[in-house]
């Protein structure tokens, strides 16, 4: 099978014409412009002109139950309202500690589940684990508990339950992709195939989300106080009372379902896919894995003693490894914007008509940064023991300690930048690093001998996020 993705096209054009700041790309009848190398132009689009070079209608299909924080244009008051309400949940330290706690509770359950349902032996080795799928299970569990206080119980039940949950979520997301291509009415009238499965999955999502909303509404009626580590749903419901919002400003049920959908969608796929590639990099680079194990053993005495600060402040090699993995295998390959200003807008000194699509090539930016480092994986690229921390660095750290990412300093744009950057950045970084520490503290990760050839041939591409066309399977060999 030949797998090719549009982001690659943009990158190749930038390589061929290294002096150009902007490339025009034609894909069938569609024409769009892409920028990637010029940092100032990227900032112009994503930060300075975020209202006039906005989301437009481009991402409207992602507003499955109505516009949401991801799909709505920056001029839409709904975006501002949702962003303001959701921000603390994924940024404040008390909430991040909640992410830490929930992830630490789920990981032992995940290992028990693997031990029970994969090839485990008496020495604690677990073999042939379908890691691509299992990582989705854990990130799904964490986002549901953290954001909605809702337990999908994937590790408490059987593999059949897990497969059933993954099945309908996959129908929901596949159907969502079809919505970008097929007209709306087909989803209403076609009674078979993915159209029907999508409709069923959508109804199921709405029912599940409404169950969460009703449960939380009852709880919120009994207790109006907003706690420090409140889940997102409670906060959304309670804020309506505490902030004395008018009826109009409060979130309607449809808005709530839409808000739940986007956090659910954005919150699990990207994190699991990042981890998937990170584990493959470790399994195929045993010398890097050893170096990281050494560091973890030095900084963290035991599995039970892992602390929040260990993840945010310590393990600089691991942080560097994660950043480099994000650079080479960036999960979201582009950020698309539309000229929404009436009469058009100027970008990089060039005038564009209203409706023109401008894409920030995150994939190309990562490949061409660091002196065109392309796929040259250097796990300690971001490790600098000699760097003397300035007062400004200390100020910048905020809640994430050393685990922060900065476009200017790191030349990385994994989570985008500006007012529409990733809402879940801090949560994702914390969750991913914690899962890596938890696994490496106990296991060496290896590609099973009998699958080495097959696994090396697995194709990577982008279907919304970076993905693999077949799952990665790993052995988890217990460390002594
Ligand atoms: C490694 C994991 C993740 C990556 C690489 C990632 C990447 C991104 C990127 C690149 C954008 C901005 C797109 C643009 O500029 O148009 C974005 C937006 C967003 N992300 Fe993430 N994300 C991750 C995890 C999460 C998580 C865990 C959440 C959970 C809350 C989340 C929620 C969102 C939301 C709500 C937006 C839209 C924000 C807005 O438009 O105001 N993401 N993400």
Short-list 67, 86, 88, 89, CA closest to 78: 67
pLDDT of residue 246: 64
Q: Is 424 in the pocket of ligand 1 (CB under 6 A)?
A: yes
Short-list 316, 318, 24, 273, CA closest to 134: 273
Where is pLDDT greater, at 82 or 270?
270
| pLDDT band of 421, cuts 50, 70, 90 | very high
Number of domains in the chain: 1
Average pLDDT, the chain: 90
pLDDT of residue 27: 82
Give the total residue count for the chain.
Answer: 480
Q: What is the pLDDT of residues 29-76, one digit of tens each?
A: 889 999 999 999 999 999 999 999 999 888 888 888 889 999 999 999
For residues 314 and 299, the answer to whether their CB atoms sit within 8 Å is: yes
Say yes or no to pLDDT of 15 above 80.
yes
Mean of pLDDT values over 6-30: 91
pLDDT of residue 58: 83
Indicate which CATH number applies to the domain containing 358.
Answer: 1.10.630.10
Task: Print the domain residue range for 286.
Answer: 6-478
* Distance in angstroms (rounded) separating the CA atoms of residues 64 and 347: 31
Where is pLDDT greater, at 81 or 126?
126
Say yes or no to pLDDT of 364 above 80.
yes
Mean of pLDDT values over 203-231: 82
Q: Is residue 172 domain-resident?
A: yes
Q: Is residue 379 domain-resident?
A: yes
* Distance in angstroms (rounded) separating the CA atoms of residues 287 and 298: 17
Say yes or no to pLDDT of 3 above 60.
no
422: annotated binding-site residue? yes
Say yes or no to pLDDT of 245 above 90.
no
Rounded to 5 degrees, φ, ψ at 29 are -80, -10
pLDDT of residue 4: 66
Cα-Cα-Cα-Cα dihedral sign, residues 54, 60, 61, 62: positive
Residue 30 bridge partners (DSSP): 27
Q: 105-114, 127-136, 304-313, 441-450: which has the minimum mean pLDDT?
A: 304-313
- In Å, how far are 106, 165, 201, 388, 404 from 204, measured between CA atoms? 25, 11, 5, 53, 37
CA of 221 relative to ligand 1 center, distance in Å: 31
Residue 477 bridge partners (DSSP): 444
Say yes or no to pLDDT of 317 above 60.
yes
pLDDT of residue 226: 63
| pLDDT band of 385, cuts 50, 70, 90 | confident
Q: Is residue 1 domain-resident?
A: no
Q: Is 331 in the pocket of ligand 1 (CB under 6 A)?
A: yes
| pLDDT band of 463, cuts 50, 70, 90 | confident
Q: What is the pLDDT of residues 318-327, one digit of tens each?
A: 999 999 999 9
CA of 287 relative to ligand 1 center, distance in Å: 32
Residue 55 tokens read as 């989301």
pLDDT of residue 244: 59
| pLDDT band of 215, cuts 50, 70, 90 | confident
CA of 262 relative to ligand 1 center, distance in Å: 10
Cα-Cα-Cα-Cα dihedral sign, residues 309, 310, 313, 319: negative
* Distance in angstroms (rounded) separating the CA atoms of residues 191 and 198: 10
CA of 125 relative to ligand 1 center, distance in Å: 35
pLDDT of residue 228: 64
pLDDT of residue 155: 97
Say yes or no to pLDDT of 257 above 70.
yes
* Distance in angstroms (rounded) separating the CA atoms of residues 209 and 187: 21
Mean of pLDDT values over 154-166: 96
* Distance in angstroms (rounded) separating the CA atoms of residues 10 and 6: 7
Where is pLDDT greater, at 381 or 188?
381
Q: Is residue 135 domain-resident?
A: yes
| pLDDT band of 194, cuts 50, 70, 90 | confident
For residues 335 and 55, the answer to whether their CB atoms sit within 8 Å is: no
pLDDT of residue 95: 87
pLDDT of residue 304: 92
Mean of pLDDT values over 162-168: 94
Q: Is residue 285 domain-resident?
A: yes
Q: Is residue 195 domain-resident?
A: yes
pLDDT of residue 355: 95
pLDDT of residue 397: 62
Where is pLDDT greater, at 329 or 398?
329
Where is pLDDT greater, at 396 or 368?
368
Q: Is 91 in the pocket of ligand 1 (CB under 6 A)?
A: no
Mean of pLDDT values over 104-132: 98
For residues 238 and 224, the answer to whether their CB atoms sit within 8 Å is: yes
Of 51, 270, 272, 412, the residue with max ligand 1 atoms within 8 A of its CB, to mutate for a pocket test, comes to: 270
Q: Which residue owns the Cα nearest ligand 1 atom 13?
A: 335
* Distance in angstroms (rounded) separating the CA atoms of residues 346 and 400: 36
């Amino acid at each position: 099978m030949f797998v090719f993705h549009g982001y690659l096209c943009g990158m190749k054009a930038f390589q061929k014409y290294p002096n150009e700041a902007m490339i025009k790309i034609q894909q069938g009848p569609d024409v769009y412009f892409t920028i990637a190398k010029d940092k100032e132009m990227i900032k112009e689009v994503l930060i300075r002109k975020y209202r006039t070079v906005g989301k437009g209608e481009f991402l409207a299909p992602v507003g499955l139950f109505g516009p949401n924080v991801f799909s709505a244009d920056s001029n839409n008051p709904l975006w501002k309202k949702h962003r303001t309400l959701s921000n603390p949940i994924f940024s404040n330290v008390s909430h991040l500690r909640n992410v830490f706690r929930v992830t630490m509770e789920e990981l032992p359950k995940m290992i028990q589940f693997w031990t029970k349902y994969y090839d485990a032996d008496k020495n604690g080795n677990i073999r042939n684990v379908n890691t691509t799928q299992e990582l989705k299970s854990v990130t799904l569990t964490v986002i549901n508990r953290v954001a909605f206080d809702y337990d999908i119980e994937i590790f408490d039940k059987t593999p059949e339950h897990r497969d059933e949950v993954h099945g309908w979520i996959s129908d929901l997301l596949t159907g969502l992709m079809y919505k970008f291509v097929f007209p709306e009415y087909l989803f209403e009238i076609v009674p078979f195939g993915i159209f029907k499965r999508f409709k069923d999955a959508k109804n199921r999502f709405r029912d599940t989300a409404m169950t969460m909303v009703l449960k939380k509404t009852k709880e919120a009626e009994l207790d109006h106080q907003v706690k420090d580590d409140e889940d997102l749903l409670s906060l959304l419901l309670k804020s309506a009372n505490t902030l004395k919002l008018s009826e109009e400003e409060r979130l309607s049920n449809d808005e709530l379902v839409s808000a739940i959908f986007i956090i659910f969608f954005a919150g699990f796929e990207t994190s699991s896919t990042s981890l998937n590639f990170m584990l493959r990099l470790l399994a195929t680079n045993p010398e890097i894995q050893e170096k990281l194990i050494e560091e973890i053993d030095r900084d963290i005495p035991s599995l039970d003693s892992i602390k929040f600060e260990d993840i945010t402040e310590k393990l600089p090699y691991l942080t560097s490894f994660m950043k480099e993995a994000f650079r080479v295998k960036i999960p979201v390959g582009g950020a698309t914007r539309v000229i929404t200003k009436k009469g058009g807008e100027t970008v990089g000194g060039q005038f564009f008509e209203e409706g023109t699509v401008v894409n920030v090539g995150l994939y190309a930016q990562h490949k061409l940064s660091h002196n065109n480092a392309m796929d040259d994986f250097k796990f300690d690229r971001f490790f600098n023991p000699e760097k003397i921390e300035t007062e400004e660095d200390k100020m910048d750290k905020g809640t994430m300690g050393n685990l922060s990412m900065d476009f200017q300093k790191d030349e990385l744009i994994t989570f985008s930048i500006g007012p529409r950057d990733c809402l879940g950045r801090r949560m994702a970084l914390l969750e991913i690093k914690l899962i890596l520490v938890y696994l490496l503290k106990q296991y060496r990760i290896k590609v099973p001998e009998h699958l080495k050839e097959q696994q090396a041939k697995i194709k990577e591409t982008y279907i919304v996020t970076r993905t693999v066309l077949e799952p990665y399977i790993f052995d988890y060999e217990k460390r002594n």
